[in-house]
Chains A and B, each alone.
Chain A
Amino acid sequence: MGAQSCDPNDAATGRGRPGLTPSQAKAVLEAALFAAGGPLAEEHLARILHVDTESVGPLLRSLADDLQERQSGLVLRRVAGGWQLVTRPELAAYLAELTGEREPAPLSAAALETLAVVAYRQPVTRAEIEAIRGVRVEGSLNTLVERGLVAEVGRKEAPGRPILYGTTPEFLQMFGLFSLADLPPLGDPPTLLDSQPGSALHSRPAQGENSNSSAGTG
């Protein structure tokens, strides 16, 4: 590779690259994405091409169209803050034969619940997750950390300086998300206003509202 990049006649690998045609540039992008395996940010791809970040987007979209047009087994997807060359989802059944037992194990219901709390509430401490789920989460949290979906992102400025957890770029990739903003919106909390009038606050014999004593004990 090093030797090739010294060759001024090689348009695809030469430095400076003002002379790259769009199709050559797309070939470079395709090659880079293939070699990377993981997602590459537009800024990164722009550095590879020595062009502005703004001009990479149109090239990528054009490359995506090309792949579609030639009915390639690969598609471009936007994931984890970048672009990734991945197999066409319709071909998954064929690839299962290839991956066999190396397919990642599905997450348990407990792990998914813990992951949901981390994803929507990050950064979050273990105690905060436990307060929401009402059970100990150490085991499922460890599983998520081991699988690289959740990581320690800092310490909370609170007594004991508890560890704060957050999701990783790996989480975005494994769940096919470009960013956390792409998470489906968390359902609105059901509120008193949503409930049928009367029942919640008046489940006790209606004799008025809550009292000072309830404030004291609560």
Chain B
Amino acid sequence: MVDLEVFQGPMDVLLHLVRQEKVSVYDIPIARLAEQFLAYLERVPLESFELERAANFLVMAATLMYLKARELVPRPSRPAGDGEDLELDPALAFRRRLAEYQRFKDAAGYLQDLWQEARKYYWGGYLDGSGRLPDVWARLKALAAWARNQVENQAGELERQGMAVAGPVEPPADERLPAVPVTLLAEAWQRCLKRLSLRPQVVALRPQPVSLRRRLLEIWRRIRREGHVTFAQLVEGQHHRLQVVVTFLALLELIRMERVWAWQEDSYGELYLAARPHKAGVGQGAPKRGTPPAEAGKRSE
């Protein structure tokens, strides 16, 4: 009989309980209401509610217990008919809240009836939404502007992650929107968002191949050309993690092959790199000036 899903929260349950007692919200004893409410709570699987919903019911239970306890405590009496005092009686304030909620619950019923009746009328453009009122279009435009903004932000985010977005996102020159119902627009937008959020994952699964060999040669040439560079300069403009990793691996390889000196002035400080002068007969032997390390080709992809 007491199906939780039909209730719109603890206030709704209380109104139901009051109706069951066949009295008004002003007549039901708070103690009776509290008792019934707690009995109701025992029958519903409160632990299966989401936290906030369960909390609503627990707060209501606590409120009722407080009001009930308050009534049991004798207090010094005052002359009757003090209106100001009535305003401040929490039990009365609580009953008024319930009564107020009842009014709006009834009003929701009127609206439901009006809706049922109004559903019988159709007008030109009803199906494609073009018969909607102008201010709806104003809101749709605002929604479209917001959507564009979101798309641009997403595009910027993708670019920061080193991925190009197909073409710039340009706001349409014509501000007029096609005649679509707002619900369809919202659905389309949801699909759009879904696609956008999937894109980085797709790219992450199939990363662009970065050639260790090519990177090694690039670094080698640059260091020889400029004499010395810092690591920060080498990874400048490389936003993708994989690119930075490959740069670092290439550097390790160059150091291992004794083509490059690397040093730091302090821990975690800037990493300086310089071409290492060749010593004949040391290591794998002196390569010709300017020729890239022979081993690089074997080791890179």
Partner of A218, one of B12, B24, B89, B133: B89
Partner of B79, one of A90, A107, A209: A209
Partner of A211, one of B71, B75, B110: B75
Interface membership of chain A positions 163-174, coded 1 if the CB is closer than 8 angstroms to chain B and 0 otherwise: 000001110011
**A84 interface hit (Cβ, 8 Å):** yes
- A208 and B77 contact, CB distance less than 8 A: yes
| Interface range for B | 35 or more
Partner of A214, one of B75, B80, B186: B75
**B188 interface hit (Cβ, 8 Å):** no
| Interface range for A | 35 or more
**With A107-B115, A109-B108 in contact, is A209–B124 under 8 Å at CB?**
no
**A146 interface hit (Cβ, 8 Å):** yes
**B126 interface hit (Cβ, 8 Å):** yes
- B23 and A199 contact, CB distance less than 8 A: yes
Partner of A195, one of B24, B81, B82, B111: B24
- B77 and A209 contact, CB distance less than 8 A: yes
**B125 interface hit (Cβ, 8 Å):** yes
Supply 19 further A-B pairs (C-beta < 8 A) apart from A38-B131, A170-B135, A213-B76: A37-B125, A38-B132, A86-B121, A87-B121, A135-B8, A135-B9, A146-B186, A174-B115, A175-B114, A176-B114, A177-B114, A190-B26, A196-B23, A209-B77, A209-B86, A215-B84, A217-B90, A218-B90, A218-B93
Which residues does A use to contact B, with CB under 8 Å? 34-39, 77, 80, 84-87, 89-90, 92, 95, 98-99, 102-104, 106-107, 109-110, 112-113, 115-117, 119-120, 131-136, 146-148, 151, 168-170, 173-177, 183-184, 186-187, 189-192, 194-196, 199-201, 203-205, 207-215, 217-218
10 closest residue pairs by CB, A with B: A37-B131, A208-B77, A176-B118, A37-B125, A135-B9, A89-B120, A37-B124, A134-B11, A116-B107, A195-B26
Give 23 pairs: A residue, B residue, CB < 8 Å, sorted on A.
Answer: A34-B124, A37-B130, A84-B123, A92-B121, A99-B122, A116-B104, A116-B105, A116-B107, A134-B9, A135-B9, A147-B183, A176-B117, A177-B114, A184-B114, A196-B23, A199-B23, A200-B95, A203-B31, A205-B74, A208-B78, A208-B80, A209-B85, A212-B76
